[in-house]
Amino acid sequence: MRVLVTRPKPAATRTAARLRAAGHDVIVAPLLDPRAVAWALPSALPQAVIFTSAAAARLAGPLPPAWLALPAYAVGEATAAAVRAAGFTAVTAAGGTAAALFAHVAANGVTHALHLAGADRMTVAVPPTLRVDTAVVYAARLADALPPAAVVALSASAPPLTLLYSPRTAARFAALVDAAGIDRACLAVVAISVSTAAAVGPGWAAVVTADAPTEAALLAAAGLVCDTGPDSREG
């Protein structure tokens, strides 16, 4: 099957490799480019550190040993893997969504946590017993256009199935398809969540939504078979 992968690198590269190993024809067209930004650690240690994206773990930069010894909570297994690679030693993957993750952290008795996050993120309800301070450690720039190879593939008589990983990139994909003069009615998309499916808008040949906000569920919804590895939303 031909597949268009829209998640950022390096996650897109890993996904493409797994799909190609399973025999699929893959086009990589990242719609976000995460970049580190300057930030400063607060003077006081929190009880825990929260990560809702793998990019935050990769781009936060080196942290002092005292911080790396804190309990770290990650939204999924891929994010947890990135947090461990950053040097944290007590890492818990939980939730699957930011809201579920914050609820899990509060249920563990944490009352004060630092969320290392991106500049653009969804507003999430936080349990009343949990104080969450946020430090922005990266910003992700949306793509200005689809790569030429993606435009050619999406304009073909048999266009690829497009995998969408977040509401923000789904909305950008729809805008870029329209800007390129490609007919939405000829394209099928698979969304990682209900909010992502809503963000891509109407008019597509098909919009399929994953049963859970993980890449494994996304690929299953797309009818793609491969060794998916750890799951994540945006990478």
Is pLDDT above 80 for 235? no
Answer yes or no: are the C-beta atoms of 204 and 49 closer than 8 Å: no
Mean pLDDT on 71-92: 94
User: Using CA atoms, how far apart are residues 203 and 177, in angstroms rounded to an integer?
Assistant: 12
User: Using CA atoms, how far apart are residues 183 and 34, in angstroms rounded to an integer?
Assistant: 29
* 37-to-56, 121, 177, 210 alpha-carbon distances in Å: 10, 15, 30, 32
pLDDT score recorded for residue 229: 52
Distance of CA 129 to the CA centre of its chain: 27
Among candidate residues 26, 34, 29, 36, the one with its CA nearest the CA of residue 7: 29
User: Using CA atoms, how far apart are residues 207 and 164, in angstroms rounded to an integer?
Assistant: 10
Residue with tokens 């493409």, as numbered in its chain = 16
User: Using CA atoms, how far apart are residues 6 and 166, in angstroms rounded to an integer?
Assistant: 10
Is pLDDT above 70 for 225? no
Answer yes or no: are the C-beta atoms of 55 and 83 closer than 8 Å: no
Mean pLDDT on 90-107: 91
- Residue 188's pLDDT band, with cuts at 50, 70 and 90, is very high
Mean pLDDT on 106-128: 93
Element (H, E) at 107: helix 98-107
